[in-house]
């Protein structure tokens, strides 16, 4: 964050504000962790704040401190719309384009509040008075820690705030192993542990709570995997019917896409998941090395994200989507397997 932006934020927070904090649609650990941590911090600063999630999120994130205060835009729509109308400041966390909040986009566009963006995805849009965007960061949670540090307030980090920040850094770095995990990330994490984050317990809450439905679905996903060695690519499909058969619950397929990358020689992995209710195929893309799935998702599947992790969508059927994907893949042969 540049000194001017820090001064702007300090001046904004020196006055009592009505604050809304927004994660992206289908929020993940980093989105919820950063929002809940910022919520805790702003409360410590004496501000009135609300976290408003565009929609529901998985059970493995619902143990997080302050989770009970989260307002679900879909379920508590009137209250959420009112809070967005009344807000004087809106923080948008872990996303950088207003199209990432689904149905909440209209209410955000109509809001008169000053926007503050904190985010680490590629190609930020220009909607905020303060844009703290850094694609080199491991996670938005690491950035929220920096944000608190820029304000000179690290002493206000409580155990709850530390727990939420730790959760987001852990989930977004694949437990501290992805490329964006820096020595600075580890220093932040060490500080969070000193401030009360219980690393073993957090890991257990997020990763050791498999349900039978999730493990059964993993079995289906892995047996559906198609491996295209000549493109160094592996993809998985899961149809709505398969999800229904195994009693799918939100979050059950989290992390499945990564299995493709554990195969020797595979550098590009995808999962296509049918969502009949929304009439789309949701796509998650992962890569290792220089192949940019951000570009791939942006150019072909209305999505985006990071170089090595991105998401997108298709409004075709599963069969048509996979056919289209295979066709597109052909044009990437020299890039994927030079
Ligand atoms: P996931 O595959 O886990 O849903 O998302 C991987 C990364 O891509 C995350 O950082 C997520 O925020 C981003 N992402 C997921 N879906 C979309 C999308 O539809 N559009 C954009 N721009 N980013 C996405
Ligand atoms: Mn993130």
How would you class 153 by CB atoms within 10 Å of its CB: exposed for 0-12, middle for 13-18, buried for 19 or more? middle
- Ligand showing the shortest atom-to-Cα distance for residue 310: 1
Cα torsion through 58, 117, 148, 143, rounded to 10: 60
Categorize the per-residue pLDDT at 268 as very low, low, confident or very high, splitting at 50, 70 and 90. Answer: very high
32 lines ligand 1 (CB under 6 A): no
Alpha carbon nearest to ligand 1 atom 8, residue: 310
Categorize the per-residue pLDDT at 83 as very low, low, confident or very high, splitting at 50, 70 and 90. Answer: very high
The enclosing domain of 81 has a CATH number of 3.90.1640.10
Q: In this structure, are 290 and 190 located in the same domain?
A: no
- Ligand showing the shortest atom-to-Cα distance for residue 125: 1
What's the pLDDT tens digit per position in 116-137? 999 999 999 999 999 999 999 9
Q: In this structure, are 29 and 133 located in the same domain?
A: yes
CA of 173 to the centre of ligand 2 (A): 9
Indicate the residue among 207, 237, 260 that finishes a domain: 207
CA of 319 to the centre of ligand 1 (A): 22
310 lines ligand 1 (CB under 6 A): yes
pLDDT of residue 38: 98
What's the pLDDT tens digit per position in 2-49? 999 999 999 999 999 999 999 999 999 999 999 999 999 999 999 999
Sign of the torsion formed by the C-alpha atoms of 297, 299, 300 and 303: positive
Q: In this structure, are 217 and 202 located in the same domain?
A: no
Tokens of 128: 């905020």
pTM: 0.95
- Ligand showing the shortest atom-to-Cα distance for residue 305: 1
312 lines ligand 1 (CB under 6 A): yes
Q: In this structure, are 259 and 313 located in the same domain?
A: yes
Mean pLDDT taken over the chain: 97
What is the side-by-side order of every strand in the sheet holding 268-275? Answer: 226-228, 233-238, 268-275, 280-287, 309-314, 304-305
Nearest atom, ligand 1, residue 28 CA = 3
Q: In this structure, are 242 and 191 located in the same domain?
A: no
Indicate the residue among 159, 181, 207 that finishes a domain: 207
Q: In this structure, are 15 and 100 located in the same domain?
A: yes
Q: Going along the chain, which residue ranges are E strands?
A: 18-22, 48-53, 71-72, 89-93, 114-119, 130-133, 226-228, 233-238, 268-275, 280-287, 304-305, 309-314
Q: In this structure, are 193 and 288 located in the same domain?
A: no
Q: In this structure, are 30 and 103 located in the same domain?
A: yes
Query: Distances in Å between the alpha carbon of 297 and those of 17, 35, 283, 292, 293?
Result: 37, 26, 9, 9, 6
Indicate the residue among 207, 229, 257 that finishes a domain: 207
Write the DSSP symbol of residue 191: H
Q: Which distant-in-sequence residues (6+ apart) come within 8 Å of 123 by Cβ?
A: 96, 294, 298, 304
What's the pLDDT tens digit per position in 175-212? 999 999 999 999 999 999 999 999 999 999 999 999 99
308 lines ligand 1 (CB under 6 A): no
305 lines ligand 1 (CB under 6 A): yes
Query: For helices 159-172 and 183-194, what crossing angle results, to 10°?
Result: 150
The enclosing domain of 324 has a CATH number of 3.10.310.30
What's the pLDDT tens digit per position in 218-237? 999 999 999 999 999 999 99
Dist CA 121 CA 182 (whole Å)? 17
23 lines ligand 1 (CB under 6 A): no
Sign of the torsion formed by the C-alpha atoms of 55, 17, 64 and 177: positive
- The distance from CA 14 to its chain's CA centroid, rounded to whole angstroms, is 29
Q: In this structure, are 165 and 267 located in the same domain?
A: no
CA of 334 to the centre of ligand 2 (A): 30
What's the pLDDT tens digit per position in 135-174? 999 999 999 999 999 999 999 999 999 999 999 999 999 9
124 lines ligand 1 (CB under 6 A): no
Q: In this structure, are 258 and 172 located in the same domain?
A: no
How would you class 23 by CB atoms within 10 Å of its CB: exposed for 0-12, middle for 13-18, buried for 19 or more? buried
Tokens of 321: 């989507």
pLDDT of residue 106: 98
Phi/psi of residue 77, each to 5°? Answer: -60, -45
pLDDT of residue 196: 98
- Ligand showing the shortest atom-to-Cα distance for residue 30: 2
Alpha carbon nearest to ligand 1 atom 12, residue: 305
Q: In this structure, are 160 and 289 located in the same domain?
A: no
Q: In this structure, are 22 and 136 located in the same domain?
A: yes
User: Which residues form the domain of 41?
Assistant: 3-207
Number of domains in the chain: 2
Between vectors from CA 211 to CA 234 and to CA 169, what angle results, nearest 5°?
Answer: 65
CA of 94 to the centre of ligand 1 (A): 10
């Amino acid at each position: 964050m540049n000194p001017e932006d820090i001064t702007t934020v300090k001046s904004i927070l020196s006055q009592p504000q009505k604050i809304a904090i927004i994660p992206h649609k289908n929020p993940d650990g980093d989105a919820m962790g950063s929002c809940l941590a910022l919520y805790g911090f702003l409360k410590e600063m004496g501000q009135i704040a609300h976290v408003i999630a565009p929609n529901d999120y998985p059970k493995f994130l619902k143990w997080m401190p302050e989770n009970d205060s989260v307002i679900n835009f879909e379920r508590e729509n009137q209250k959420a719309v009112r809070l967005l109308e009344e807000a004087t400041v809106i923080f948008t966390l872990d996303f950088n384009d207003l199209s990432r909040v689904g149905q909440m986009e209209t209410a955000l566009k109509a809001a008169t509040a000053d926007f503050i963006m904190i985010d680490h995805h590629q190609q930020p849009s220009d909607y905020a008075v303060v844009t703290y965007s850094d694609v080199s960061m491991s996670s938005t949670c690491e950035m929220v820690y920096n944000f608190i540090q820029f304000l000179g307030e690290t002493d206000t980090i409580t155990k709850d705030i530390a727990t939420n920040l730790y959760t987001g850094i852990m989930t977004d770095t694949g437990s501290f192993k992805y490329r964006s995990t820096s020595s600075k990330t580890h220093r932040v994490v060490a500080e969070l542990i000193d401030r009360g984050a219980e690393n073993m317990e957090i890991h257990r809450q997020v990763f050791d709570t498999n349900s039978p439905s999730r493990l059964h679905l993993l079995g289906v996903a892995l047996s559906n995997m198609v491996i295209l060695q000549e493109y160094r690519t592996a993809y998985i499909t899961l149809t709505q019917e398969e999800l229904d058969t195994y009693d799918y619950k939100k979050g059950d397929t989290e992390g499945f896409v990564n299995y493709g990358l554990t195969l020797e020689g595979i550098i590009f992995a995808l999962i296509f998941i049918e969502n009949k209710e929304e009439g789309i195929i949701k796509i998650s893309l992962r890569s290792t090395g220089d192949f940019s799935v951000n570009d791939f998702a942006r150019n072909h599947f209305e999505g985006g994200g990071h170089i090595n992790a991105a998401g997108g969508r298709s409004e075709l059927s599963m069969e048509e989507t996979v056919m289209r994907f295979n066709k597109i893949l052909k044009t990437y042969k020299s890039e994927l397997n030079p």
